[in-house]
Structure 1
Amino acid sequence: MTKIHITTTVNGDDAEFLCDPRETLLDCLRDELRLTGAKEGCGTGDCGACSVTLDGRLVCSCLVLGVEAQGKEITTIEGMADGDTLHPLQQKFIEHAALQCGICTPGILVATKALLEKNPDPTETEVRYWLAGNLCRCTGYDKIIRAVMDTAADLREAS
């Protein structure tokens, strides 16, 4: 099968790769661009471990074809930190021990960042609703919710 040349922006940088028309964006990110933060947990869009943003919209990269990235802007977990400085969400996840095995963590961080960009003052119910598409088997959700709420409060105070 003929591979298709894709030109896109990933984490603020221009990127190009070749992909099979049937290949998922997750596979392209991991195999072609060597961005391995997004994980394949289910392959059906049910777990959220592969969450990325595509033109600012939160998506499960296992459900998006790589060819759909043409001309789009993708943000992955690798694009959250600013060099050696963690994103405030990443720092709060550490402080609240809101991670364990790490399979779900990148997707949850990308999802909660997307939430706080849309709604910088979410209620706990809104955070729980937003994260309904992200499954975690290790930590439970309380520490994750606390980390997100704490981050939101800090970001509001800073602005």
Structure 2
Amino acid sequence: MEAYLEALDLWEALEEDYDVSALPDNPTVTQIKITMIDIGCESHGLYHLRTSAPVSLVTDSPSLIHAQLGHPSLAKLQHLVPRLSKLSHLSCESCQLGKHSRSSFSRSVLNRALSPFALVHSNIWEPSRVKSTLGFQYFVTFINDYSRCTWLF
């Protein structure tokens, strides 16, 4: 396979519908079939396609349009897509899950320490991706349960 890759001109392979993947352990050359969908022309660094009706924009599904536009609110969706102005409700599971919140812990003080240093919480951070100014990567925190005072070393 190595001799074939060395003898094969990369640009010639790409022009002749070959996909070349030159990974160190597993170089591959695959013949691919290409179907022309559209022809475009370049203008100021952008390629403009001449298709009269782009296929990706032709959909009647409000849910699909909502997802493709990044899950906007119903009002914003109706502003962006005027033909959806009569839509009264949009059911999107992702949007509903994004609005969920977890129940917070109870604020009962029954388990809280009754005097300073009666209960101290600690945590060791192992290795931090960001080093301290002195080059340390491991940190330990101590939290006094009574006062909530925190020390970081």
Q: Same fold (TM over 0.5)?
A: no
User: Could you say which structure has the larger radius of gyration?
Assistant: 2
- Which of the pair is proportionally richer in strand? 2
Larger helix proportion of the pair: 1
Question: Structure 2 length normalisation: TM-score?
Answer: 0.23
TM-score normalised by structure 1 residue count:
0.23
